[in-house]
Every structure is written in C-alpha cells, then in structure tokens.
Structure 1
Amino acid sequence: MPETAPITVPGPISPPHRLLMGPGPVDAYPSVLSAMSARLVGQYDPFMTRSMVETQELYRHVWGTTAEASVLVDGTSRAGIEAAITSLVRPGERVLVPIFGRFGHLLAEIAERAMAEVHTIEVPWGQVVTPSAIEEAVVRVRPTLLALVQGDTSTTMLQPLDEIGDICERHGVLFYTDATASLGGNPFEFDAWGLDAATAGLQKCLGGPSGSSPTVLSDRAVAVVRSRARIEAGIREAGDPVAGDFVRSNYFDLGMILDYWGPRRLNHHTEATSMLYAARECARLIALEGRAAVIARHVRAGEAMLAGVRALGLTVFGDVAHKMSNVVAVKIPDGVPGDVARAAMLEDFGIEIGTSFGPLHGRVWRIGTMGYNARRDAVLATLAALEQVLARFGHPVRAGAAHEAAADHYRGSAVDGREATA
C-alpha cells in the first residue's frame, strides 16, 4: 500500500453540557435521544414498516388531520419546504408569498428556484399579515400556490392561519405553510384551517434533533402532485428540448416519497432509521402528554419568560399579541455588548440564547422556551443567568426580580405543576 500522511485520531465525540434556550435547536427529550440509539433494522423489515405506519398516525394527531398523506422527508426542515414547493408548482406558475420575516424570504427563494413566477407582499418585521391584505393579493396575483410561514423565529411572530384557508378555497389556490418553528407549541389545525400542505422540523417545539421533516398533504394536494408527475414524465418521454425545465428533484419528489410511505412501499431511498425513531418518539410524547397540554405548557413557559425579561427592564420586540408562545425577542439594552453578553451566558453558565438576522441582527436577543426546555427550571435558570450577565455589563437590575416574576407566574397558573420529564 502507498504511504499516507499520518492522522491524529480524535477521541469519541463528547459535546459540552449546554442548555439550549435560543430559537432552536433545543435540547432533545431524553427519550428521543434514547430512541435514536435503538438498534437498526432493514428498511423492509416488518418492524420498520410498522414503525412507519405508527409514525404516520402519530403525526396525523400532531397536525390535526385525517389526511392519509402523512410522511417524513429525510433532511432538515428546509428539505420538507423544498419538497412541498417543488412538488406542488411547475415552472411559470404563480406563487404568492406574504413575508413578515426571514423565512418568508426563504419560501420565495425556493419557489424562484422551482422556476415559479413569485409575487410577494411584505409587512415590517414585528407584525403579521392581515387576511384582507392576503386576499387582496390573491385576487390581484391569481396564484397557483399561497406559501406562508406560520411562526417566524427571526421576528418571533405567529401568523394567524384560521381565515386563510377559506380565502384560498374561494379563489382556487393551494395553501401551504411552513410550521417548523411553531408546530407542537402553538395551535395547529390542518383540516379545520383548510390547509393543503404543511411541513415542519423536529428541532423546536417537537423536542428532537434536526434532520427529519414531518410533512402532510391534503387529498387535493396529492392529486396535484400526481398530475405534475404525469405531465413532466410525458414531456420527457416526448423528447421535448425544454424538458429539463420540468425535471424536479428525485430526492424531494413527494410523489415518489408518497409511494415509498404508501401501501406499495416502492423503493425510493433508504429511510433514515434513527431519525424515524426520533420523529416517532417526538410525536409519541405529544400524544402521551396530550396535544392541548403540550401547547398549554409552552404557553406557560413562554409567559413566565416574558414576565421575567420584563422584570429585568428589557423591552420586548414586536407585536406581543401575535408572538409565538415558544420564543421571545428582547431589545439589547444600550451599553450592553450583545454578542459578548451572549458569549458570557454560554461560557459562564452553559446557556445558549440567540441573536437574530437581517434588520434585527445585533438589536435583539431571542430566547426560546420550547420542547423539553418548556419547563420551569429551564426558564428560571436562564433568567438568573441573564440577570447576572446584565448586571456585569452595567444594566440596572433588581436582584431576584426576574426569578420572582417568572415564579409568580407559574404559581398563579391554574395547572398541577407537571413539567416535561420524558
């Protein structure tokens, strides 16, 4: 054998202890991590097939739907977004994207890469888009697809969706939402709200690792996906010189993924087994605790964190009436070096909070309370550390004020005190 350069072999992976209280990813539930270490089986083993069926049913419960087309797209939440948009839209069709934060821009970019004719409407960061503004744009643009983020962590805003489905139905528009940041910690009703497609990720309120994207399609969306596949196959078979314009990704082809997850189990790819186990456990925990109870726990933790940061004299960014339950953005006080203070939280206390993007970069911190971390001890520990760091950099705080405000909120909540321990 030819000689090779010597290699220094690193030791086994050993991450530092962290409490992830940013906008995601967050600490996974312990039982999710345990599930990921379970032994592997072949992709057509009866146990594997049964696990896939169980996962589909569990996510129907999470999504609030009876739709058959409940699957996982292997990859991060962005994989689900790309699969949904590129499978529902053909080149030249119009897509309308209302934008109220960074991730609306992402939906628009992915639709542009799918060669759609993309139209956008925007509101200032910290606000949401009104149904009337969306309907006006739908009437004006006449899109095939409305693509709308539910919860945008860049601004912490939660876009109301309950009236949008009716608007889309009246005008014959497909309705898709990215619920990555919101699913599991905020109300979501796929059927009742008239959605046609939705995607998410595990790494926020679902309390798992990034790497799997739960995805659901209505019967109408499934029919569109199937028709797109037939049209594009016909174009390629005919030898059309512009057929390349109609070739979608193989990996993100939802028609093929549906066949893989459906009763025929047509081979598409080798399922990411450990991520399947993780996704199944995330949804199982929600079903075990109760969907409404999980949302209530997120609301409780979010309101306690909100009370605590206000007690520290911090100003909350955006329209609090439309804030997600699971993350709050606070303006960095004058004189406090934002990134240095965040580094001190991490180095001295092992607690991570987030900065932001675009026009909010360097202006706000984003503090999350989601998934396994939507619990009392995580909230109180984060507030205690933040109080110490703010005092170090000269921001006036009353010792114990944040802890007192958050603890008072928990004591005043009409709950039995149970928290996430799975």
Structure 2
Amino acid sequence: MKKSALLLLGASILTLASCGARGNDEDPNAIKIALVTDSGTLNDHNFNQTSWEAVNAWAVENGGGKVENQVVSNGSVLTKYYQPTATGNVFTTAERVSAVKAAADWGAKFIVLPGYLFQPVVKQIQESSKYKDIHFLALDCKNQDSDNEDKEFTLKSNVSMTQYQEEQAGFMAGYGAVKEGLRKLGFVGGMAVPAVTRYGYGYIQGAEKAATELSLADNAIDMQYYYSGKFASTDEATAFATNWYNAGTETIFACGGAVYNSVTTALSGLSDKSGKTWIGVDTNQHADTSIKPEGTRELLLTSAMKGLGESIKSALNDWKKNNYEKFSDKLAGKIETLGINDDAVALPTPETTGDEDCWGFKNFTIEQYKTLVSQMKAGTITVSADTDTKPSVTKVQVTYHNTTSTDKK
C-alpha cells in the first residue's frame, strides 16, 4: 500500500446511527460495515474520526448512498458505529465485547476496531462461533492479550491487524520543530498505550537528532512530557499545557484522540500567542475546519500522520476482491506493520494533501523534509520503536510528568 499513490448492548451502548432499524428502502441484502470505538469519542478530530470517515468513504464508493447523520443508511453498502459507555468513568473489555456483539446483531459482516484496547476483545470474540463469518480489522493491535500479561494468541483467518511505525512520524515532527528553531517543546499524550508512546519517544529522538546536527549544547532543548490517561480533554491536561506555554514552551505535540482540545484550549487562553504553536496527530488536523477553539487551527505547526484511512480502504478492498467471504493470504490472520517505506507515516505537505496552508514551518523547508524522508527510507537515519525504555538523549532535557497514567482496565 502506498499513501502517495494513495471506531454495552442496550442502554450501555451509545449508538448514533439511524436507530439500527431497517427502513422501508433498505436493501435486505446490503453489505453492512460497523466500527466500534474503544474509549474515545467518534468525533475526536483524529484517530477515530479518520477511521470512521474512511469506512463511510469506502461505502459510498462501493454502492452505498449518501452519508447522512454520519452514517450510510441506504444503498447496497450500509455503515453504523458503536461507542461503549463507561461504567464509573472506566471503559472495560466486557463493554467493548458487548459493543461488538451489538454490531454483529445488527448484521455487520466487517467490523473495524481502532485502538490497542481491542487486543483482549479480539482474543475473546475469536473463541465464539457467533463471529466466525464476520471479518475484523484491528488497528494499532497485535496478538497479545493485554488483560492477561500480554500473552500471545493465534489470530484466526477472519482477523487482520495493522500496526504503524508511529515513532517515525513523531521523529519527523520533533526533528522539524528543532530545525525550525524551537528550543522549548512539550508533549501531551492521551493514554500511555504503545502507539502514543511510540509517537512520543520518536518525537524526543527527532529533536535529539536535529539538535545534534545543529551542534547545539547538551540540554539545549527543554521538553516537558506528560500523559493525561484519557483520550479526551481533561482539566489537568489543560492546566499542564497552560503552565508550559506560560513558562516559555513554544510548541506542544497533542497526541491521543480529543486530548488535543486541552492543548488548543490552553493555547486559546494565552494573552500573547506570538511564537506559540501546536502539533497534531494521526491525520492532517489543519484540514479540519471544525477544530476548536476558533483560531487555533491556524496555529498548527504540523501533524504527525499515519495511514489509517488507506489501511482501512485497502483491507475492505481485499475483502471485496474475495467476494466478501475472506481475506487474502496477505491479511488473513496476519499483522501488518506499516511505516515510512510504505508511505504510511508522514508530515502533511501542500503537495501530498492539497491543503496549501498545512505547512506551518517557516525555517524548516519542504526540501529539508524530503531529504529527511529519503534518509529514513534508505536507513541512514533509524528510529527506535522501544516503548519500554525512555530514549537516551544528551541534547534534549526531558522532564517527565505522570508518565505511568492510564485508564486501561
């Protein structure tokens, strides 16, 4: 796949999709595709939303009708999404399994599961004959039961998983920020799941590499680093971001669902925003005109992107090519890991996105970025994907806050 040629049953589930009842004009033989979110909201302006928009776009392109009220509810391909409701502010594996069951009861034959928290869900649903004829695409997942000491399990042929080398995208963002001339950086992550950690540790490594190339002194780059523990805006995250900006931080990488809104809220509240920016994640967030508060989209420096939409469409095309009955050998029971050599991670440029104002850098040029990409593809520059050990750096002084925070149960 090449990018360049390139989310509780009953009351415990919030289903915002045409109430689930078949209308008089609904094709009883329609292909039904569902998406279940893990703990974040559907409209998070990055991970879940990008995934859902890809599902809807594919449905429309392959026989579905128009997207109305966020779903495709007519034509030969239909879509619907499910959001588990937390019990006591905690999202559990049991609730996610119940949401998958609701999607199956609706008649979904392909279910997209975006997020690491679906690993134990896949383990459980594979053991039930109820799901043997349903195909699953689990994003940011691998075959480890994170509810049971990460014990490995074998994927069945109706399941495909995709992981990304987020550390490479984070690296490019950190590298560009330092080459831009910024010396005070921040990172606000959501939950400390592997994908978020890879983004963050890559960000640190990129800043270190750029500082080394510029022959900066040891500890010349100051970085504040924090996980909020939720894929949502929180008062604590907003307070951290506000304090950092007021103390001189120039840009903050907002990484993890709607946690970005804590950073944009902090940025919006500054009396003096000159020289202050933020970095988006997963998709080109500059293209999202609904980013709030007003005026913060224009302060976006860049976005560390991965090819979510392309992965989803590719898997759906594979399934369609096999008469909606199976995955090809490439995907069936397999885990794909996609990175820079697949054009699956990148920073947005006007040329690749069509968004003329997405390049927020003034000093770090697109030509320098292209050189960096070439070096990474050639292996001249490598980025560690280790999430167990903090990056070893000398040019970047990292202050870690709350780095064990998580709401995973």
TM-score range, shorter chain: 0.3 to 0.5
Which structure has greater helix proportion?
A: 1
Which structure has greater strand proportion?
A: 2
**Superposition TM-score, scaled by structure 2 size:** 0.33
Higher-Rg structure is 1
